[in-house]
Amino acid sequence: MARNRPRAPITSPAAATVFSTVLTRGPVTRVDVARRTGLSSAAVTKAARPFIEAGYMAEVAAEERTVPGAGRPASPLDIRAEREFFVGVKITGDDLIGVVTDLRAQVHNAQRHPLQSRAVDSVVAAIVNLVRALLAESQEFLERAHCLGVAVSGDVDRASGQVRYSPFLGWHDVPLAELLEEATGLMTTVENDVKALTIAEQWFGEGIGASSFALVTVGAGIGCGLVANGALVTGAFGVAGEIGHVPVADGGPPCHCGGVGCVEAIASTHAIVAQARLAVGEPELSMDQAVARARSGEETVRRVFAQAGHAIGLGLAAVANLFGPERIVVSGEGLAVYDLFDQQIQESFARQAFGSAARCGLAIRALPFEEWARGAAAVAVQTMFAPESTRSRQHAGHLNT
């Protein structure tokens, strides 16, 4: 089926700014948008008009003015969230998690498909099947979804759509966005998974209104995304905020990165299991068993989790001391066992954070796995509403789904 490109009327950086302000802050009056963006009211009105005409934005009923003589009440602008749907897919080593979201990244449909193989062709075919299955749930999805976001761990170059290196998949230099665009007909953006989650948090979560914040993920790896002055920090060489490889234990366990005593070498799920096995002398101990034994009060195993919490707390303090974010969100599948290292995270952070850096709030919470796919969808939302001039990869017209 031939598809048309989305016709989001982004013609200038001002249009993108107005749209993203209404998206993240709406309902909001034009005057308020002008105040927040530094644009004139006339420029806001001009930028908003094409969005209203195309159905992405609407004026909502104004609240009655209570002050007599205050003039005509201003009608706030808001997003029509279901004007456009987005598909987000997270690729893990073992399966695909996919969601359909609306413009505000609210999840309308979610599915999980196992991966039969990690070969590129096979993963691309599996993603195409997943996308079809997700969109087939509703005629509205089929008609109004034009963009796909894909999140992968590892070294990902969003601008060119390449997965440069993914350790879990064993991929090098895979032009994933191009392959998926051809196969699905959807405008495709590929992003590192932690960066994708950070964008979702920045636009639709705890990061709203914060000019700087950090997102730290705890699980199979220890990841971190940084936002400074409202923009994702990408690093001059594509690496920034690698809290997982901050050394916190001189002479500590070796890390897969080649370093020693890294946070990840102590606090990743794999590291915790390895240390718990050593501590109890049982080489077959599983993570679930380690958790159960720690919760039942077995001191040697409890200590392993406490050391992991300590390492994470020191890593968070390093982020606060170097970068000074307004807040740090700590999330990830590893936090399902939060009760086992909560106290050490908080204590080690408080002890090591320097002066006022400790004032940054720590929001610690579990991360349902579909959140990773929602992050991928948020990247697709962001791409669709980036000004045409900032999209460095030329997107072809829509092909066949």
Binding site for Zn ion (CB under 5 A): 245, 255, 257, 259, 262
E strands within 115-221? Answer: 145-152, 155-157, 162-166, 171-174, 187-192, 213-218
Q: Supply the minimum distance, in Å, between the C-beta of residue 281 and Zn ion.
A: 26
Long-range contacts of 31-35, Cβ-Cβ distance < 8 Å, separation of 24 or more? 31/74, 32/76, 33/77
Closer by beta carbon to Zn ion, 263 or else 377: 263
Q: Based on CB atoms, which residue is closest to Zn ion, 249 or 386?
A: 249
Q: CB 329 → Zn ion: shortest distance, Å?
A: 22
C-beta of 17: minimal distance to Zn ion in Å?
38
Least distance CB 266 / Zn ion (angstroms): 10
**Exposed/middle/buried for residue 387 (C-beta within 10 Å: 0-12, 13-18, 19+):** middle
Q: Is the CB of 245 or the CB of 398 nearer to Zn ion?
A: 245
CB of 267 to Zn ion, least distance (A): 11
Nearer to Zn ion by Cβ, of 182 and 242: the residue is 242
Place of tokens 């989001």: 8
CA atoms within a 13 Å half-sphere pointing along the CA-CB vector of 394 = 1
| Residue 134 or 312 with smaller CB distance to Zn ion | 312
User: Which distant-in-sequence residues (6+ apart) come within 8 Å of 218 by Cβ?
Assistant: 267, 312, 330, 331, 332, 333, 334, 335
Residue in 133, 93, 129 with CA at minimum distance from that of residue 110: 133
Is the N-terminal amide bond of 27 cis, ω within 30° of 0? yes
Cβ at position 221, least distance to Zn ion in Å: 10
Nearer to Zn ion, 9 or 261 (CB): 261
Strand 187-192 with 145-152, pairing:
parallel
In one letter, which amino acid is 186?
Answer: L
Q: How far is the CB of 263 from Zn ion (least distance, A)?
A: 8
Q: Which is nearer to Zn ion, 245 or 374 (CB)?
A: 245
Secondary structure (3-state) at 376: helix
CB 262 to Zn ion: min, Å: 3
- Sequence-ordered strand ranges (E) for 103-257: 107-114, 145-152, 155-157, 162-166, 171-174, 187-192, 213-218, 222-228, 231-232
Residue 27 or 261 with smaller CB distance to Zn ion: 261
When computed from its CA atoms, the radius of gyration of the chain, rounded to whole angstroms, is 23
Question: How far, rounded to the nearest angstrom, does the alpha carbon of residue 115 sit from its chain's CA centroid?
Answer: 22
Round to whole Å and give the CA distance between 248 and 262.
6
Which CB, 179 or 272, lies closer to Zn ion? 272
CB of 242 to Zn ion, least distance (A): 8
**Closest to Zn ion by CB, 185 or 221:** 221
**Contacts of 301 by beta carbon, 8 Å cutoff, 6+ apart:** 276, 279, 280, 290, 293, 294
Task: Name residue, tokens 């601008």.
Answer: 159
| Amino acid sitting at position 83 | R
Q: By the 8 A CB rule, do 260 and 242 touch? A: no
For the CB of residue 283, give the shortest distance to Zn ion in the complex, in Å. 23
